[in-house]
Amino acid sequence: MTSTQDPDPARPEARADVPATTTGSPRWIVAIDVGGSGSRLVAARLDSDPGSDADAHSTSLTGRPVAIGPEGSDVAEVVHDVGAAFVAAWTETHGEPPVVAAAAVGATGVATLVPDPTAVHDALRVSLGAERTAVAADALTAHLGALGGRAGAVVAVGTGTIALGTDLAGTWQRVDGWGHLLGDLGSASWIGAHGLRAALAAHDRRSTGGSRPLLAAATARFGPAPTWPAQLYTRPDRAQVLGSFTPDVAAAAAAGDPAAVQILTEAGRHLAESLAAALVPGLPPLAAATGGVLAAGPSLTGALARRFAALRPDAELVPSAGTPLDGALHLARLLAESTGSGGTGGTAGTAGTASLVAHEPWLSLGGPRTDPAPATGSSTAPRDDNHTASHPAPITGDPT
């Protein structure tokens, strides 16, 4: 089985849209989003207003997805590679590396599979020469992007699923995000797995639950059914491989296949359950859903909206204001504009770095940089002992 990736997933690719340097060597902020389907980097000028024409991204890069192995997540390597590709593209245009005031990463598995974010901070420092660094769980950057820094709950659905309810101060309620073997209900990997089960039910001529259209689609994508177990069970990226079948399930549902419609409907209900569970007492009744799987169609999104309304009739489900990458850029800007390791603070319901940095495993902060090393793209990262985190406020739920 194969999933759709860049032609050479080990080498990030950059568009040639790096703008010419203006007088005064402006400082930049960099955001990186690392997930199960790939990695992305964008950069913006620090002195621009968010959302303005001057805030246009300096470059856009894509890289390989994160991989999970016996030693855990390789997110540090992914971050280093895409960061080095950005610096290389910039340097080719300008003759010198960019001045990166702050860089923020939102990555899948930070809360569960990255016990020590030091290596990720190191990767940002070495590849980008970033003065300050932030490493966040993708649930947090999804939250910041979807609600624009406001308090509430967000469910982020891609290869996996995680919901986070927070006031960005003292309440942090995590729901799901347990991986495709234990959870990630309603995610692309969940939808793909259920689609393959329906295909196998048709293959086995079971009386219920089968789908001939899904069997045909799965055979076209993966080959004969008897070969599927060997293709899946030995793959470290099987969640991504399962998720690659989600577009086929969505297409079958759009064509009216009952099994596919039922799978997407159940996925939407699961997402609503996670979102409602994350919206704990004390949080504003505000919620959003974000992620590429929402493009699967009305069977999923309609079920999500109906079930959430039934569970939380008092709450408002709003359209997502932005992506997890937007959230990471928001975080990088806050970090660059703050002073000292504690950040700028912030009022209740807004995203001040003082409240955000106080909550591992959701976020850790590195810097200011004390070493003079520039961005080099070196594959050998010196250990950074400057990243800090504290726990002054109680954390609700289980963030591990």
Q: How many residues does the chain have?
A: 400
Same structural domain, 311 and 266: yes
Same structural domain, 50 and 130: yes
pLDDT over 90 at 214, yes or no = yes
Judge whether 116 lies within some domain: yes
Contact 304, 289 (CB under 8 A): yes
pLDDT at res. 400: 30
pLDDT over 80 at 208, yes or no = yes
Same structural domain, 333 and 311: no
pLDDT at res. 127: 86
Same structural domain, 279 and 334: no
Judge whether 344 lies within some domain: no
What distance in Å separates the CA atoms of residue 392 and residue 400, rounded to the nearest whole number?
Answer: 17
User: Which helix or strand (DSSP H or E) is residue 104 part of?
Assistant: strand 99-107
Which CB contacts under 8 angstroms, 24+ apart, belong to 87-95? Answer: 87/127, 87/128, 87/129, 87/375, 87/377, 88/14, 88/377, 89/14, 89/16, 89/18, 89/59, 89/61, 90/18, 90/58, 90/59, 93/18, 93/20, 93/21, 94/18, 94/20, 94/21
Region of 179 on the Ramachandran plot (φ > 0 left; ψ -120 to 50 alpha; else beta): left
Confidence band for 173, pLDDT divided at 50, 70 and 90: very high
pLDDT at res. 108: 76
pLDDT at res. 24: 56
Contact 125, 155 (CB under 8 A): no
pLDDT at res. 171: 85
Name the average pLDDT for the chain: 78
pLDDT at res. 12: 46
pLDDT at res. 355: 42
Same structural domain, 69 and 107: yes
pLDDT at res. 187: 95
Torsion sign (Cα): 45, 49, 50, 51: negative
Same structural domain, 312 and 197: yes
pLDDT over 60 at 343, yes or no = no
Same structural domain, 40 and 92: yes
Q: Which residue has the higher pLDDT, 284 or 393?
A: 284
pLDDT, tens digit (0-9, with 9 covering 90-100), for 307-329: 999 999 999 999 999 998 999 99
DSSP H helical ranges for 96-211:
118-128, 138-147, 188-203
Judge whether 44 lies within some domain: yes
Strand partners, 364: 135
Contact 61, 13 (CB under 8 A): yes
Same structural domain, 218 and 308: yes
pLDDT, tens digit (0-9, with 9 covering 90-100), for 70-129: 666 777 888 888 888 888 888 887 788 888 889 999 887 766 676 677 788 888 888 888
Judge whether 135 lies within some domain: yes
pLDDT over 80 at 188, yes or no = yes
**pTM for the full model?**
0.74
User: Which residue, 318, 348, 381, sits at the end of a domain?
Assistant: 318
- Which CATH number covers residue 249? 3.30.420.40
Q: Scanning the structure block, which residue is given the tokens 């940002």? A: 124
What distance in Å separates the CA atoms of residue 68 and residue 138, rounded to the nearest whole number?
Answer: 16
Confidence band for 48, pLDDT divided at 50, 70 and 90: low
Judge whether 391 lies within some domain: no
Confidence band for 366, pLDDT divided at 50, 70 and 90: confident
Same structural domain, 122 and 230: no
Q: Across residues 124-136, what is the average pLDDT?
A: 86
b/e 331-363 (16+ beta carbons within 10 angstroms → b): bbbbbbebeebbbbebeebbbbbbbbbbbbbbb
Contact 283, 165 (CB under 8 A): yes
pLDDT at res. 107: 84
pLDDT at res. 353: 45
In angstroms, what CA-CA distances link 298 with 193, 265, 301? 20, 9, 5
Same structural domain, 198 and 222: yes
Same structural domain, 258 and 214: yes
pLDDT at res. 81: 84
Q: Find the domain containing 239 and state its range.
A: 188-318
Neighbouring CB atoms inside 10 A of 271's CB total: 30
What distance in Å separates the CA atoms of residue 362 and residue 349, rounded to the nearest whole number?
Answer: 17
* Among 38-47, 105-114, 161-170, the least confident range: 105-114
pLDDT at res. 147: 94
Same structural domain, 312 and 362: no
Region of 377 on the Ramachandran plot (φ > 0 left; ψ -120 to 50 alpha; else beta): left
Confidence band for 19, pLDDT divided at 50, 70 and 90: very low
Confidence band for 193, pLDDT divided at 50, 70 and 90: very high
Q: Across residues 228-233, what is the average pLDDT?
A: 91
Structural domain count of the chain:
2
- Which CATH number covers residue 135? 3.30.420
Percent of the chain with pLDDT over 90: 38
Judge whether 50 lies within some domain: yes
